[in-house]
């Protein structure tokens, strides 16, 4: 049974506390005609809007709900860019040339978003914490050494391996067999970053319209006509930036990017001494086991924020909170009975290659499939999609060579296969991970 502090209702993200008593920026009516229409006002869409406007294009952004109410203000705020997959896996999927280019693009992607943050003077509690990937099994620790060698040889991203003894300086637990440290990665407050992008768009005179879902997108000669409840918009070009929240009429994209829920909890405020024991390295922390747990200190350094796979489908939030606290207590038994202040969920947009893609389908441009790496890749690839739509050479990216693919398991609009996948992971994969971890002791 979870004990609650009563600070927030279930479903209210911890990050939203920053703007609880602050009105949203002014809503704008959609214009009748633009050069570029962007569908989705999260990290991807707002960055695309800024990039397109600064080339001289007339731009508008529409969102089905409130701008940023999706994953952009619900994620863990971990800030870093490196391919989710190893170089051999990327080579098998896309060829060696593309794999090399994806690794090489990690540094420029990180630098692009840091520059955007600084150029627009976005105060989002950025902290250069570094991020450590924690090896759950001995085999995972060995794989990390191979990945470190690939990153060093194929990119300019700094990376260090951390042996089991040195882990004591990073985290107060005996659970892990080593780690992989990205010292240049950092932490942000995602809701503040989103608000900064929103403000930057509005300062340019870019109209951002809430509660304006695109219910139909039709061809009109060389351009498009978008139908929304708030009016019709004619656009020469369109960028789709909805990721895990993509719905009709974009069925082609729904078949290739599916929404995967991630569940997060925040603890009550903890003592400085306890937090110093639990997380002496004060890093962003992620695991190698298939639960995909990720955790960190809150920006004020007073709480643990803990997220990951409580389920691969929607479940009641009180059940998700129990599962996440139980997983957290496997790492830190001291937190088994700690009270929770928040629980919430959001959808990551997953591709079947686990890699993002920038491209176009029948003239409709998009940046989708961030697969859990959207804090940096969404604003970076949003700008790339805008440049590509406008024919700007700055749109060149290796992520145009990571095509979105269909899978035989996903034959309907909704990802019904996740019910079976959830059972498989919870009964077999998680048990296997834990067995391999115990055998290493």
Measure Cα distances from 164 to 30, 139, 422 in Å.
56, 13, 31
pLDDT digits (tens, 9 = 90+) for 321-339: 999 999 999 999 999 999 9
Give the helix, strand, coil percentages of the chain, each rounded to 5.
35, 20, 40
User: What number of other Cβ atoms are within 10 A of residue 157's Cβ?
Assistant: 21
Q: What pTM did the predictor assign?
A: 0.97
Per-residue tokens: 371: 């697969």
Q: What are phi and psi of 59, to 5 degrees?
A: -130, 145
Share of the chain above pLDDT 90, in %: 95
Beginning with the edge strand found earlier in the chain, give each strand of the sheet holding 284-287 in spatial order: 160-162, 179-182, 131-134, 284-287, 294-297, 304-308, 257-267, 340-351
Distance CA 313, CA 432 (A): 21
Mean residue pLDDT across the chain: 96
pLDDT tens digits for range 73-114: 999 999 998 888 889 999 999 999 999 999 999 999 999 999
């Amino acid at each position: 049974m979870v004990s609650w502090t009563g600070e927030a209702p279930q479903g209210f993200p911890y990050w939203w506390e920053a703007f609880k008593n602050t009105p949203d920026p002014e809503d704008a009516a959609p214009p009748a005609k633009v050069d570029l229409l962007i569908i989705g006002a999260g990290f991807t869409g707002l960055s695309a809007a800024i990039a397109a406007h600064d080339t001289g294009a007339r731009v508008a952004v529409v969102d089905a709900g409130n701008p940023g109410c999706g994953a952009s203000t619900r994620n863990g705020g971990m800030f870093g860019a490196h391919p989710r997959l190893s170089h051999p896996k990327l080579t098998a999927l896309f060829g060696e040339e593309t794999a090399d280019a994806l690794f090489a693009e990690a540094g420029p992607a990180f630098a692009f978003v840091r520059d955007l943050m600084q150029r627009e003077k976005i105060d989002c509690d950025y902290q250069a914490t570094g991020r450590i990937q924690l090896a759950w099994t001995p085999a995972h620790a060995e794989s990390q050494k191979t990945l470190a060698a690939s990153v060093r040889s194929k990119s300019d991203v700094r990376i260090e391996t951390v042996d089991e003894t040195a882990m004591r300086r990073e985290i107060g637990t005996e659970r892990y067999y080593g780690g992989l440290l990205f010292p240049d990665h950092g932490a942000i407050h995602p809701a503040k970053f989103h608000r900064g992008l929103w403000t930057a768009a509005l300062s340019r005179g870019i109209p951002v319209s809430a509660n304006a879902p695109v219910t139909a997108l039709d061809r009109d000669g060389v351009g498009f006509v978008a139908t929304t409840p708030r009016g019709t918009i004619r656009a020469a070009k369109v960028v789709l930036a909805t990721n895990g929240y993509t719905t009709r009429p974009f069925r082609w994209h729904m078949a290739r990017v599916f929404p995967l829920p991630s569940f997060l909890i925040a603890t009550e405020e903890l003592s400085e001494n306890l937090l110093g024991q639990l997380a002496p390295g004060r890093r962003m922390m992620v695991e190698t086991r298939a639960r995909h747990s990720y955790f960190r200190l809150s920006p004020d350094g007073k709480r643990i924020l803990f997220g990951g796979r409580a389920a691969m489908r929607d479940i009641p939030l009180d059940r998700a909170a129990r599962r996440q606290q139980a997983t957290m207590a496997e790492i830190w038994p001291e937190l088994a009975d700690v009270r929770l202040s928040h629980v919430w969920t959001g959808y990551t947009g997953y591709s079947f290659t686990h890699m993002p893609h920038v491209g176009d389908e029948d003239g409709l441009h998009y940046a989708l499939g961030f697969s859990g790496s959207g804090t940096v890749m969404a604003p970076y690839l949003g700008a790339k999609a805008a440049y590509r739509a406008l024919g700007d050479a700055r749109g060149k990216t290796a992520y145009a060579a990571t095509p979105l693919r269909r899978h035989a398991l996903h034959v309907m609009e909704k990802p019904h296969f996740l019910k079976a996948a959830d059972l498989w992971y919870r009964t077999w994969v998680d048990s296997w991970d834990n067995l391999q971890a115990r055998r290493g002791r």
